[in-house]
Every structure is written in structure tokens, then in C-alpha cells.
A = this chain, B = another copy of it.
Amino acid sequence: MRYFKSDNTAAVSSEILEAIAAANDGVALAYGADRWSERLDAVFGEFFGTNVRVFAVSSGTAANSLALATFCPPWGTVLTHAEAHIERDECGAPEFFTGGAKLSLVEGAGAKIQPADLLARLAWFEPHVHGVQPRMLSITQATERGALYTPAEIRALAEIAHARGVAVHMDGARFANALVAQDVPAAELTWKSGVDVLSFGVTKNGGMNAEAVVFFDPTRVADFEFRRKRAGQLACKGRYAAVQLLAYIESGLWRRNAERANRLAGRIAAAAPGVLCEPQVTNQVFMKLGEARIASLSRDFGFYPWGPAGSGEARFVCSWDTPDEDVDALCAALSRPE
């Protein structure tokens, strides 16, 4: 079986394992007081070209939820796309971490939020105690349909949000894939365009079990560190998370891995351009294959049907270590007449 289910099923890059081994030498202070953890701010600061505060957590769900809880009070609401991971795939984690804030949903093609739709959704909320108050916007880069927000698009959304006192979170579970696809500076995709806090995914793109939460204004970290500890997300042996994040950035692993995954996805898309139901730009490919084709392909390939039941859509995801021959095989199968 050749797997295109998710980049979650990939192994860990050797750079990460080597960094872990290199740090595995003698004593290191616990709970983030080690010398690797102490370099995080500087290394990510350089990457983003600004002063940042960076914290390691063990999962993307934790990264997103802790970021949201830092900005959104229990009586607040997080505006997000109806297909967002935080809405559909985290079993209510944002609600748990925030103490019961709501997610308020916006629709939009490509799992993207458009400025007009954000404005319309914001207009629903009145500044009185009967309704929750918008406090955060969460957008996903790349989106759950593999689409991208350009810097200009982010800026348009962030301006609307900030004008209403709404902070901007970016779920960057596949941020590296988005970055290499656009080839703009990381700063342009984040703080320069108004992103206040980023969940910077590492695990899907070659890491083992570490994600970074990046605050672009070091004075607005608020009570994040208490919340992280309280959520069981402050690693005891912090060095083993820190070195994953450092190696990811410093060795250029983020770029190498994302470029390969995106490129492989491009080959898949090119093999059957007629059935693409979303433009392919990152490492995800969405195709309208029909139920029969999905069934036949499922004999040899692992992938997820997508969208509502009966849609005939499917998602194929390439990871940094998807074998070339698996892609060859999939391309051949897709090219073959049914």
C-alpha cells in the first residue's frame, strides 16, 4: 500500500534525530532552562527578522489552542473558516483551553476567508453582554484545501480584524509548505502582514513531536507560559523539543522538506489536471474522481475521500519522505483511463 493519507504518517528527518543525539549528553536544566531552549527566541527571531518569543509544545492542537486562549477570553469568539482544523479536527480543544469560548464560522472557497465575508461575520456581533465578542481571527496557511493566503490577502484580513480589536492567529501546521510555495520572506507572511501569533508546524514536515508557538510582539505573551504548564505542555526534558525546532530552522530542513513535498504533489496534479478540484500549490492535491474511481484506487493507495459523503472528491498528501516510486505509481494510475 502506497500512502498519501497525510504528512502525519511520515518518518522523522535524519537532521532531527541527529540534533537529538547531539543534545543527549549529560545534564541539562529541566523545563526549558536548558541552553537549547534559550536559543529559540534568537533563532526564530532571525528567521522572521524581528523580535519574537517562541515556545515549544508537543502537538499542533496544543499550539493552536494555547495561542487562542492567550488572546481570547471565555466570553469571546474566534472567527475561523468552517473547514478549519480547529473547528473540525481537534475535538473541541479550543473550547477547552479557552474556558468555553466559541468558534464562529465563515465559509469560503478553498477553505479561505475573504475580507467581505469576514466583515459580514463581524457585523453580526453587537457590543453588548448578550453575545460573545470577537477577539480572534484564525486563518490557516496553507489552508485545509491546500490554498494559500498571499501577504496582501493576510494584510486585508488583519486590518479588518485589528480595527475591531481582534487579534490574528495563523495555524501554520503546513507553514513551511506555504512559504516555499510563495517564495516570499517569512516576515511577509506573518508579522509584516498583521499576524500576531503563529502555530509553526514542524512535526508534519520532518519533526518528531514538537511545534512552535511564535509571538510576534514579545510584550503580548500574556499568561501563555502559565497556560502551557497547566496544560501539561511544558516538557520536562525541554532540550529534546528545542533541538527539533532549532534543527528545523538552522539546517534549512523546513525548506528542503517542504520543497520536496510540494514538488511531488505537483507531479500528481500534473498527472490528472482535468480532475483537480482545487488549484495545487502546496503538498496537498484535491481531485474529483467519483466514487467508483476512489474505490478502485483505494486498492493500491492509501488516501482520504474528502468533502461531504458522496462528493466523489479525494485528497492526496505528499510528505517530505514520500517515495518517488509511490508518486510514479499514483501518477500512472491517475493517467490510466478507467
Contacts and interface: CB of A to CB of B under 8 A. Distances in A.
Say what secondary structure dominates the interface of chain A. Answer: loop
A336 interface: no
A228 to B, nearest CB: 7
19 contacts: A6-B30, A9-B28, A11-B25, A12-B240, A17-B20, A58-B209, A65-B232, A74-B95, A75-B227, A77-B92, A90-B229, A93-B229, A93-B231, A95-B95, A95-B100, A97-B232, A204-B236, A209-B209, A231-B231
Interface stretch (A123-131, A190-198, A279-287): A123-131
Contact of A208 (B12, B59, B234, B237): B237
A154 interface: no
A27 interface: yes
A269 to B, nearest CB: 21
B12 A230 contact: no
A337 interface: no
A111 interface: no
Given A17-B21, A20-B17, A209 B231 contact: no
Contact of A74 (B6, B99, B130): B99
A130 to B, nearest CB: 5
Interface in A222-248: 223, 225-237, 240-241
The 4 closest A-B CB pairs, nearest first, are A62-B232, A8-B30, A95-B100, A61-B232
A299 interface: no
Interface residues of A, number: 78
Nearest to A2: B27
This protein's copies in its complex: 4
Given A24-B11, A231-B231, A237-B208, A96 B74 contact: yes
Interface of A: 3, 5-6, 8-12, 17, 20-21, 24-31, 57-63, 65-66, 73-75, 77, 88-93, 95-103, 123-124, 129-133, 203-204, 208-209, 223, 225-237, 240-241, 302, 308-309, 321
A240 B208 contact: yes
Contact of A8 (B25, B100, B237, B308): B237
A305 to B, nearest CB: 12
Contact of A101 (B31, B60, B92, B103): B92
Nearest to A129: B229
Contact of A12 (B24, B97, B302, B321): B24
Contact of A203 (B204, B208, B223, B237): B237
Contacts of A234: 59, 61, 129
A8 B234 CA distance: 12
Nearest to A130: B89
Given A123-B309, A237-B12, A92 B102 contact: yes
Nearest to A9: B27
A95 B229 CA distance: 13
Given A17-B21, A236-B204, A73 B223 contact: yes
